Structure 1
Amino acid sequence: MKYSNATNYALHTMLHLMREPNENAVGVQELAEMQKLSPTYLSKILTKLTKAGLIESAPGAKGGYKLARNQNDPSFFDVIKAIEGEANLFDCTIHHEGCLIEKTMRQAEENMKRELQGKRLSDLIKEVEQHKKAQRRC
């Protein structure tokens, strides 16, 4: 199974915004350069994150994007859902009631969904910080 590149960029963008001190707004240009993307492409991703209520835009000369006030600790699933939507990854092509293949695949999707809902971006930030500290000791 594969998520789109947009999901990858969205997760990295969210991680960057969460690490921004004092909830400073970060401009599209800076966020795009950080990931070597065109600002136009990243703007489409930012629009989806904004519509999902994960981030908000800050107007003005020092404007840009920042975490939404109510989103201090989003899950991986929150970000993925904002970009990919909630369509099932697997749909049985032979539509008969009680298809065991479809049942198995849906169960796997639910397990993955629970795992991603339980993993917070703040967890990843902690892991990154621990990794940096460990590397400094070497």
Structure 2
Amino acid sequence: MKYSKATNYALHTMVYLASAPAGKTIGVLPLAEFQQISPTYLSKILTKLVKAGYVESTPGVRGGYKLSKNKEDISFLHVIQAIEGNESLFQCGAGHDENAPYCMVECVMSQAEQEMEKYLQQRTIAELVEKSDERILSFVNRVAQ
């Protein structure tokens, strides 16, 4: 299975925001430059995270983004669903009996997906902040406002 690049950037961005000193914001430009992506693209990702309630934005010259929830309360699954949505990864498609009460393959895939979601729900952004290397911490401390 493959998640979109947006999910990759969203998870990394959440770690950077969670690594910032309490109450400090980080602008979209430094976040985009650090990840070597377009600020416009990252803004779209951040908009989804704001709408989901995990990030808040502060307008203005000294504005930027910061977490709106405790990093311990934000799971990988929360971030993934904010970007990808909640739709199942697998669905029986054309060529299969649409009127059958279930698709045997879909049952197996659904169970696997539930196990993966359970695991991702248990893993928090805070766990990665604790493991952040000096490069990340230096960046965050330099750009946080």
Q: TM-score, normalised by structure 1?
A: 0.88
Matched-pair contact (CA < 8 Å) for 1:11–1:79: yes
Q: How many residues align?
A: 128
Q: Secondary structure of the residue that 2:71 maps to in structure 1?
A: coil
Question: How far off is 1:59 after superposition?
Answer: 1.6
Question: 1:1-138 maps to which residues of 2 (within 5 A)?
Answer: 1-68=1-68, 70-73=69-72, 74-93=74-93, 94=96, 95=98, 96-128=100-132
Contact residue 26 and residue 64 of structure 2 kept, 8 A: yes
SS of the residue corresponding to residue 2 of structure 1 reads: coil
Q: For residue 42 of structure 1, report the CA deviation from its aligned partner.
A: 0.5
Does the CA-based 8 Å contact 1:28-1:39 persist in structure 2? yes
| CA-atom RMSD in angstroms | 1.2
Contact 1:55/1:71 (<8 A) preserved? no
Post-superposition Cα deviations, 1:54-75, rounded to whole Å, max 9, x if no partner, equal: 000012211011001x343210
Alignment correspondent of 1:135: none
Letter in 2 for 1:66: K
Runs of 5+ in structure 1 lacking a partner?
A: 130-138
Identity %: 52
Alpha-carbon deviation of 1:10? 0.2
- Structure 2 gaps, min length 5: 134-145
Residue 125 of structure 1 and its aligned partner are, at CA, apart by 2.0
Normalised by the length of structure 2, the TM-score is 0.84
Rounded to whole Å, the distance in 2 between the matches of 1:9 and 1:39 is 12
**2:46 & 2:14 partners in 1: Cα distance?**
10
Conservation of the 8 A alpha-carbon contact between 2:75 and 2:125: yes
**Aligned structure 1 segments of 4 or more residues deviating by more than 3 angstroms:** none
d(CA) in 2 for partners of 1:120, 1:82: 15
Q: Which has the higher contact order (CA 8 A, sep 6+)?
A: 2
1:82-138 per-residue CA deviation (whole Å, 9 max, x = no partner) reads: 000001000012232132211000000000000000001111222346xxxxxxxxx
